[in-house]
Amino acid sequence: MDEIEFKPWPKIGRGNPFKVTITEKIDGSNACIVIVDGEIVKVQSRKRFITPGKNNDNAGFAGWVEAHKDELLALEDGHHYGEWAGPGIQGNPLKLEEKRFFLFDTFRWNPDNPNRPACCDVVPVLYQGILIPETIPGLLDDLKSKETTREGVVVFYHAFRTRTKHTIKSPNGKWCKDG
């Protein structure tokens, strides 16, 4: 019996699992800029690395990154994920006049951070606080009333550091019969 290792019960973290940040889910194309040691080293779509040019770009995103690279270096080292949206992408439901890159990290790129490149937007924060059952349906109803087509919302659960999406047209996923 002396060979049994003592295993204490793990410390239970504190946190309100219902504290959330809810952002608008922009209908565009997922994109990312990878910066290492102060240089843009890769550009990617959701599934692959991309490069400027007709054969391997993602709706012109890699070309746009190349054209704005000096300004985008203000993002600093890391993977900078966002949504590439505008004319020619998913039917341009927001009716944007030009393509725009919307960064997902609303904590880093909040209005108090003066370093966000002017060529980048941030997904709109629609709600921050305690999640109650009416919150998501209410926000989806608000989005439906907009003059432009909206896709839905993304809910970030602070305690779990995870996200879920809730879409207007296909609440169960676009591949489900009932969704």
Q: For 55-84, what is each residue's pLDDT tens digit?
A: 899 999 999 999 999 999 999 999 999 999
Round to whole Å and give the CA distance between 154 and 74: 26
H helix runs in 1-159, sequence order = 61-67, 69-72, 135-144
The model carries a pTM of 0.86
Average pLDDT by stretches of 10, the chain with 179 residues: 81 78 96 97 96 93 98 97 97 95 95 90 96 95 92 93 91 60
Return the pLDDT at 15.
Answer: 67
State how far the Cα of 144 lies from the Cα of 136, in Å rounded to an integer.
12
Question: Which residue in 19, 40, 38, 50 sits closest to 162, CA to CA?
Answer: 19
Question: What is the identity of the amino acid at 28?
Answer: G
pLDDT of residue 173: 66
Contact 33, 41 (CB under 8 A): no
Phi first, then psi: what are they for 137, rounded to 5°? -60, -35
